[in-house]
Structure 1
Amino acid sequence: MDPHLNIAVVEDHEALRIVTVEALQSRGHRVTGVESAESLQEMLGNQPLELVVVDVNLPGEDGVSLARRLKQSHPDLGVIVVSAGTRLDDKLDAYECGADIYLTKPIAVEELCAAAGALGKRIQRTSHPPPSGFSLDLKRMRLRGPAGEISLTSQDATLLAALVRAPGRRLETWQLLEQLGWLETGKIALEVPVSRLRRKFSVVGATANPLIAIRKQGYQLSCDVVIA
């Protein structure tokens, strides 16, 4: 599914502006139409924008100049330039000024909407990169990571929470056994919950060993985990 975006359409031809706005709105986007660069400037201070569709031939400041200025002040803003110009130089000028996509009139609304959707996905991936850390939800007994989440046993959660809270994220064997209420057992008993936790970390996206065994001492948590 395409992301829903905040879009401005800058087009001085009223009928074409209305058609473009309605087509984008029909895809779930939040769209405002304006007739000039000056009108867009007034709107920029009132609402956040993620994408602008700009006609080249505008009254006052032209669309290519506007694209350049928008990219300079809002580098993450998506810009689609539309124009009747078909020459290669026209397209190159627009791209050099910051256009992400150049579409030649007449444009089918389906093509414009597809271009907006594709650019929107790229914008949102850049603005919201996948999380790289892990979180422990003690209330729901869940471990979350870049690849999803998984349920934990009470032993899993207790062991992981103790390591997260420990100085340097390191605990000696007897300290971990104490947390689990296993002081009467040997250190070999820890191997089962440690192995299980490693496997669950792998399921949610860990690419390295999250629980490092410290010879003759204990274990250290090697990744960032936030307790939710």
Structure 2
Amino acid sequence: MTGDELPRLGAWVKLPTPESVELLALAGFDFVVIDAEHGAIDLRTMSTMIALARGYDIAPYVRVPGTAPRDVQIPLDAGAAGLLVPQINSVAQAQDAVRAVRFPPLGMRGASTSGRAGQWGRAPLSEYLRSGNDNVRLIVQAESVTALASIAEIGAVAGIDAAFIGPMDLAVSGRFQEGSTEMADLITAAEQNCADHCVPVGTVAAGNAAELLERRGYDFLVLGADTTILRQGAHALVQAARTATLGAGR
């Protein structure tokens, strides 16, 4: 992915199998997020997933567990199109993420053209550095009341490309009950704040993708996970078969 455009529709990859990426690409998704925060995905499998995604022309993002050098360096050198960094609650934490992910002068990322991001040593150092700062997307996750209150300031930090509102962690950290109007109001205010300050924003969708994209101004959505898609599809097949069997009087 190049330029300022963000791919619109994506899915989490939580199963440690590259075939998940292939299936999601064939389904028409624009990007995948390889989940190294919650998924049991080792580095070798992650690298293979990134390569497979690029072969299918679907943008491979990685949700990293943190901003330690090993958290960010390996997926970036493996050719990730971008990173999602969880639990960014302040401008200072956003600046820390930039320092970890970007090359100087924005950050302190270590350089090596010997990986996929450097075309296995073929890319000139200048192009490798430019691409790492200009083409790789850095998306910070706003998952607390504090983060949502500062989302525009966080999103405006140089080197940050977008913010991602995480409603599940927001509900847990804020101790909101399901259907909380207070939480809904916080999210609405954050959406408006992002719109007012031209901060691209994404979130998860649960059957309300059209509303989020067209009416509420979201730039990109994660529609689900490979695990959820498999479970729901399998459940629908079983239920349909059982219903048909009962309808036949068996």
Q: Structure 1-normalised TM-score?
A: 0.32
Instruction: Pick the structure with greater CA Rg.
Output: 1
Structure with bigger helix share is 2
Task: Report which of the two has the higher share of strand.
Answer: 1
Please, what TM-score do these two structures have when normalized by structure 2? Answer: 0.30
**Higher normalized contact order (CA 8 Å, seq sep 6+, divided by chain length):** 2
